[in-house]
Amino acid sequence: MQPLRRRLISSSRLYHSYDHPAPPAATFNQVETAILDASLPHIPTYGFTQTTLLRGARDAGYLDASTNIFPRGPFTLIHYHLVIQRLSLAKQSHILQRSNSNEQPLSIASKVKALTWARLMGNKDIVHRWQEALALMAQPTNVTTSVVELSSLADEIWFLSGDTSVDSSWYTKRASLSTIYASTEVFMTTDKSHGFEETRNFMDRRFSDAQNLGVALGSLNQWVGFTAHAGLNILRSKGIRL
Amino acid sequence: MATFRKSPFPASQWLIRDFLAPSLIPRTSRTIRCLSTTSNSAAAVSPTEPSYEPQRRIPSSGEEAATSSAPLKKSLTQAQRDFLTSALRVNQAGELAATLIYKAQTPVVVAAHPHLRPLMKHMYDQEVSHFSTFNALVAKHRVRPTAMYPVWTVMATALGWGTALMGREAAMACTEAVETEIGSHYNEQVRYLLEMVENMEREGQDIGDELKTLVETIRRTRDEELEHLDHAVENDAKDAVPHTALVEFIRAGCRGAIWVSERV
């Protein structure tokens, strides 16, 4: 229980300082990063396999045996890919800030959409191998890391988009974005259309579904609140001390 | 001083004003400037410039001043980040509850005792400003808000409404209990933060405006919460029946809520 709890906490949202540099990421050390970095170009050919790690280790100038530093084998490669792609979202400056002033800055919702699409396009080159990855990610030993990584992605997208809601919607927003992203990602693995047009349409439909649901829930909430207030005020007007 | 130099006053007047100036400067910054034998950069540039910079770190020894020109920027430790995370989360939850308690109490209390309207409004407005301060901090520092948000919303509203129905004294006793608990909680946070700042200072680390502002914010909030406590006691909180039972019950509830909010 303790290691799992520790792992969940260390990767969950902790105080993000602007004055102090972020602590060095404990996930991958220097050697691991070197090997994994060198492995990335081999993924389209060899997939998320031990072979890719081996090629990466050779390219980085390490012995074949050095792949033993990855006890989880190919899953580490998947994890590395997820982390790298998530962190690269912060560099999507064309979405996050419009440089020329004649273009209107995007709304939060359209930033979320654009960033989600940008993240999906990060899988573009390896999408024919992504089903293997999804299978590995769903294995019981890996599923915690995968889910944590998915929620970190949703958190990153909402944060980068400039969303500042800190009530219950913090949770619902992240949950719905995670659902949308995960389902679209699965859809993308079978998409053969030009430029992933079908995936784009699929994602747009998911976003509008979520929006409709949000509007419906919001209206219901408003109606309940209004009725309760009105009822209370009627009772008060009748002279009942409430 | 720059304004004086530009001003068209003759030199004699200039002198008189310069003579008067030190009395306007806070004592600490002046004494440090006069006694400092180290090459404090601020003092070295212009010793007569009465600029008020209480935040400037004075090197504790000449050696330190020579070796570390810029203070270290070290990342916060895991323990420090854990503390800041749960502190911001629990403060936000607390202010949410406080806002809702006053919001629920106000219509009932004011209907029976119209003279309390300004006081209730004053306390409510302060809570709203605390709540928005901590909301902004939670969002800025990417802290996860408490998962119990809907639960606290319902419970705080029920508490405020319930005590208000029991009468003015009970409502004030509720304020007394809540503010006592919150005040001592903020006090603990300030103590921990000051200790942390002191340790960082001893290691020659740069504390940064972020933490300094946070300490100031929590201090100011604490003072305002304790002011509410005084208002409650002035308004006969002690006359609530049964006073001890009610206050102890609410305080226990607050402690439980704080414990939970720090974790989830």
- Here the CATH number for the domain that contains residue A179 is 1.10.357.10
Residues B129, B57, single domain; the answer is: no
Beta bridge partners of B114: none
Residues B148, B61, single domain; the answer is: no
How large is the average pLDDT for residues B2-9? 44
Residues B110, B239, single domain; the answer is: yes
Nearest-by-Cβ selection for A164 from B108, B139, B210:
B139
Q: What is the pLDDT of residue A2?
A: 39
Nearest-by-Cβ selection for B143 from A13, A19, A167:
A13
- Over 70: is that where the pLDDT of A9 sits? no
How large is the average pLDDT for residues A128-132? 92
How far A21 CA lies from chain B's nearest CA (Å)?
Answer: 5
Q: A173 pLDDT band (50/70/90 cuts)?
A: very high
Annotated binding site of B: 95, 127, 130, 179, 225, 228
**Residue A242 belongs to some domain of the structure:** no
Percent share of chain B, pLDDT over 70: 73
How large is the average pLDDT for residues A103-128? 89
**Residue B2 belongs to some domain of the structure:** no
- Over 50: is that where the pLDDT of A88 sits? yes
Q: What is the pLDDT of residue A13?
A: 72
Residues B63, B96, single domain; the answer is: no
**Of residues B206 and A173, more confidently modeled:** A173
How far B189 CA lies from chain A's nearest CA (Å)?
Answer: 15
Whether residues A15 and B75 touch (CB distance < 8 A) is answered with no
How large is the average pLDDT for residues B209-233? 92
Nearest-by-Cβ selection for A15 from B73, B88, B139:
B88
How far B162 CA lies from chain A's nearest CA (Å)?
Answer: 9
Q: What is the pLDDT of residue A242?
A: 75
Q: B135 pLDDT band (50/70/90 cuts)?
A: very high
A-chain CB neighbours of B145 within 8 Å are 166-167, 170
**Of residues A86 and A3, more confidently modeled:** A86
The range of the structural domain enclosing residue A57 comes to 2-237
Q: Which among B57, B72, B73, B75 is the top mutation candidate for probing chain A, defined by the most A β-carbons within 10 Å of its own β-carbon?
A: B75
In the 3-class helix/strand/coil scheme, how is chain B assigned residue by residue?
A: CHHHHHCCCCHHHHHHHHHHHHHHCCHHHHHHHHHCCCCCHHHHHCCCCCCCCCCCCCCCCHHHHHHCCCCECCCCCHHHHHHHHHHHHHHHHHHHHHHHHHHHHHHHHHHHCHHHHHHHHHHHHHHHHHHHHHHHHHHHCCCCCCCCHHHHHHHHHHHHHHHHHCCHHHHHHHHHHHHHHHHHHHHHHHHHHHHHHHHHHHCCECCHHHHHHHHHHHHHHHHHHHHHHHHHHHCCHHHCCCHHHHHHHHHHHHHHHHHHHHHC
Q: What is the pLDDT of residue A94?
A: 78
Identify the CA nearest to B143 among candidates B261, B7, B36: B261
Percent share of chain B, pLDDT over 90: 55
In whole angstroms, give the CA distance from residue B113 to residue B123: 16
Q: What is the pLDDT of residue B55?
A: 40
Size of interface A-B (CB pairs under 8 A): 81
User: Which residue of chain A comes nearest to B81, CA vs CA?
Assistant: A15
Nearest-by-Cβ selection for A12 from B111, B139, B144:
B144
**Residue B7 belongs to some domain of the structure:** no
pLDDT tens-digit map of B161-189: 999 999 899 999 999 999 999 999 999 99
Residues B114, B219, single domain; the answer is: yes
A-chain CB neighbours of B147 within 8 Å are 171
Q: Count how many domains chain A has.
A: 1
How far B103 CA lies from chain A's nearest CA (Å)?
Answer: 13
A-chain CB neighbours of B111 within 8 Å are 236, 241
Residues B93, B164, single domain; the answer is: yes
How far A19 CA lies from chain B's nearest CA (Å)?
Answer: 6
**Residue B1 belongs to some domain of the structure:** no
**Residue B5 belongs to some domain of the structure:** no
Q: A137 pLDDT band (50/70/90 cuts)?
A: very high
The range of the structural domain enclosing residue B45 comes to 16-67
Q: What is the pLDDT of residue A26?
A: 66
B-chain CB neighbours of A242 within 8 Å are 108, 165
Residues of B in CB contact (< 8 Å) with A are: 73-78, 80-82, 84-85, 88, 92, 107-108, 111-112, 135-136, 138-145, 147, 149-150, 165, 206-211
How far B86 CA lies from chain A's nearest CA (Å)?
Answer: 9
pLDDT tens-digit map of A89-114: 988 877 777 655 566 778 888 899 99
Task: Look up residue A49 and give its DSSP letter.
Answer: S
Percent share of chain A, pLDDT over 90: 62
**Residue A105 belongs to some domain of the structure:** yes
Nearest-by-Cβ selection for B150 from A16, A24, A168:
A168
Q: A8 pLDDT band (50/70/90 cuts)?
A: very low
Among residues B34, B67, B100, which one ends one of the domains?
B67
How large is the average pLDDT for residues A17-31? 78
Whether the complex's predicted ipTM surpasses the cut of 0.85: no
Range name among A88-97, B18-27, B142-151, B233-242 with the lowest pLDDT average: B18-27
- Over 60: is that where the pLDDT of B39 sits? no
Nearest-by-Cβ selection for B139 from A23, A166, A171:
A166
Residues B109, B57, single domain; the answer is: no
- Over 50: is that where the pLDDT of B51 sits? no
Annotated binding site of B for Fe cation: 95, 127, 130, 179, 225, 228
**Residue B4 belongs to some domain of the structure:** no
Whether residues B73 and A21 touch (CB distance < 8 A) is answered with yes
**Residue B10 belongs to some domain of the structure:** no
- Over 90: is that where the pLDDT of B92 sits? yes
Residues B249, B139, single domain; the answer is: yes
